[in-house]
Amino acid sequence: MKKLSHLDQEGRARMVDVGGKAPTRRRAVASALVRMSAGTRKALSGGTLPKGDAPAVVRLAGIQGAKWTATLIPLCHPLPLDQVAVDLQEDAAAGGVRIVAEARTRAATGVEMEALTAVAVASLALIDMVKGMERGVTVEALRLELKEGGKSGLWRREGFVDPWAPDEAGS
């Protein structure tokens, strides 16, 4: 049986020592679907929500969430973030808005939790911005889409199209 890295010899939770690992470039992308009605999506895209500029608030909340990850998630290492980007994409077929976040660093450990936290906080901020129009908004499918760097290299969820890769997103 493989030894669990976040447990000490007595089975207690501990922070992993990454001090002996060389810093490398690392990147992660995460996403979530915030499901809402077509009317709420229309108000969001048209800029007519009662609380104002939701996309700007959502992007800033996601960036702030990534920066606070080590405070919110007990065993995460504080990381120097080189870049955090948050994007909102209307997904009418899924009945909502997809929030996608990218986090980049040069560190001895991965940046997946920062990307996931960015998406989670951005999703909550979006709910806060639209709750005056619709109370039943939900967050679904919060997940890691891509990670690269470090010893394990590249991992990508099947079917994921990277909005920050110009050759994939059509930019």
Q: Which residues are catalytic?
A: 128
Contacts of 49 (CB under 8 A, 6+ apart): 43, 129, 130, 132, 133
CA distance 57 to 161: 25
CA distance 21 to 17: 9
Contacts of 119 (CB under 8 A, 6+ apart): 30, 31, 32, 62, 86, 99, 100, 101, 142
Give how far the C-alpha of residue 138 lies from the chain's centroid of Cα atoms, to the nearest Å. 16
CA distance 133 to 157: 33
Would the CA dihedral through 154, 157, 160, 164 be positive or negative?
negative
CA distance 30 to 100: 6
